[in-house]
Amino acid sequence: MPSTVLVGAQWGDEGKGKICDLVAGDFDAVVRYSGGNNAGHTIVVNGKKYGLHQVPSGIMYSDHVSVIGNGCVVNPKVVLEEIDMFEADGITTKNLKISGNAHVIMPYHKDLDGADEKSLGDHKIGTTKRGIGPCYQDKVARKGIRIQDLMDEKIFRLKVETALIQKNAILEKIYGLHTYTVEEICEEYLPYARILKPYMAETSQMLNNAVREGKSILFEGAQGTLLDIDHGTYPYVTSSSCCAGGAATGSGVGPGNIDRVLGIQKAYITRVGGGPFPTELTYAEDGGEGLEAEEGETLCQVGHEYGVTTGRKRRCGWFDAVIARYAADVNGLTDVALTKLDVLSAFDTIKVCVAYDVDGERYTSVPEHQVRFEHAKPIYEELPGWKCDITGCRSFEELPQEAQDYVAFIEDLAHTRVTFIGVGAGREQIINRFWK
């Protein structure tokens, strides 16, 4: 199997965890290359649901290496909680490796994240308040604390002391919040270091050695294309490079060693937090009325659209083919996994956004200018629904003709073949068309 990037092709929450778990067995290593515990991947194994936030989904395969790469930010407490969860269920974590170059989320990062978000008032970004953004800010400012620093008490104390000079001043004088002492932080974090030390490794070297040995790697993306710091709907984005290109920088494996890019898309679209969303439907409880509110409620309820990490109700809308084409270009998609097709069984007719109307001008690509994208109105084409249960279908040919036509319509608009089709929550409820 060629080395592959698995990437979200919408605003996240597309079902990456399930697809990653499905294909991870074809690879020798699975690498999480960006983000932190602001991302949640849900997988179902033997009827049990696991919500993962830091550990790669490939952990379910005991003979594979699972890597938290240098492009990630790590909350040690969350990693240890997930390790304990797996070990308690008899799932070994002996092959989990954490890059020594990954940055550590500190207590003050979480405090600053929440305070910054609160200060924005009505212009909130929608951060998970997990400290991800402030941690990446310190990384870029060259003031961050890395996993390797955590393993050396002398260096860790020195770096914490230096950081607190600035962080305490901000916490106290700007936000009126609790400040920290070096001892307070060391008391919490140094025990983490002792437990995590066996997991730390020079992961870039390890992965490149694996490539030279002819082994294959699956790069597991977090969030989605429209949340990428460079290519997303800025400023309503995450703080990392979650597009396919981030796999190289976030792992230390050169792009020439990556052969395939699998984009994950829902058969409709959702997002969490603030920012533009052209196909968004309203909810009755939020003041929406008529058919649009009914459609929004149906997508949310039938699709169980609540965030794994936050528990927040997701914003829901019809499939956006303009975004699908954009994601295909930005990531260089070779394949698409279309998840939750079964949710659309609830509708008599199904809408697909094929273009935008921006102040009377038709756009078939995502407007680069932020204001234009915020003013974009969807131009829909309507397709017949199938109104029957498809959760038992195991091949493309078993799907109703209307469902087959819907998939073909999306392929044509997105210029990328649909390799997987999800028709339910279980591992076995995924139709494989072209994956080998």
Question: Active-site residue 13, yes or no?
Answer: yes
What is the reported pLDDT for 371? Answer: 92
Contact predicate 353/379, CB 8 Å: yes
Write out the two tokens for 204.
């870039």
Rounded to 5 degrees, what angle do the CA atoms 245, 248, 250 make? 100
Question: What pLDDT does residue 62 have?
Answer: 84
pLDDT of res. 18: 84
d(C-alpha 333, C-alpha 222), whole Å: 16
Residue type for position 370: Q
Q: Catalytic annotation on 109?
A: no
CB-based contacts of 348, cutoff 8 Å, min separation 6 = 384, 385, 387
How far apart (Å, rounded) are the C-alpha atoms in residues 291 and 240? Answer: 37
214: exposed, middle or buried (C-beta count within 10 Å: 0-12, 13-18, 19+)?
Answer: exposed
This prediction's pTM: 0.92
Residue 307 confidence (pLDDT) = 67
Taking each helix axis from N to C terminus, what angle separates 182-196 and 76-88, rounded to the nearest 10 degrees? 40
- What would the DSSP string read from start to end of 354-395? EEEEETTEEESS--SSHHHHHT-EEEEEEEE---S--TT--S
**CA separation (Å) from 146 to 76, 105, 157, 225?**
11, 9, 12, 26
Write down the pLDDT at residue 39. 74
Q: Which of 21, 28, 41, 320 is catalytic?
A: 41
pLDDT tens, the chain, 436 aa long: 789 999 999 999 898 888 988 898 899 999 999 999 987 777 766 677 788 889 998 888 888 899 999 999 999 999 999 999 999 988 899 999 999 999 999 999 999 998 988 887 777 776 778 999 999 999 999 999 999 999 999 999 999 999 999 999 999 999 999 999 999 999 999 999 999 999 999 999 999 999 999 999 999 998 999 999 999 999 999 999 999 999 999 999 999 999 999 999 999 999 988 899 999 998 876 667 788 889 998 999 999 998 665 677 799 999 999 999 999 999 999 999 999 999 999 999 999 999 999 999 999 999 988 999 999 999 999 999 999 999 999 999 999 999 999 999 999 999 999 999 999 988 889 999 999 8
Q: How many CB atoms lie within 10 A of CB 289?
A: 9
The catalytically annotated residue of 13, 21, 113, 335 is 13
Rounded to 10°, the helix 153-169/107-119 angle is: 20
Q: Per the structure block, which two tokens stand in for 117? A: 């978000």
What integer pLDDT is reported at residue 425 of this predicted model?
86
**Rounded to an integer, what distance in angstroms lies between the CA atom of residue 67 and that of residue 54?**
10
Residue 194: CB partners within 8 Å, gap ≥ 6? none
Q: Check residue 224 and give its pLDDT.
A: 94
What is the reported pLDDT for 263?
A: 98
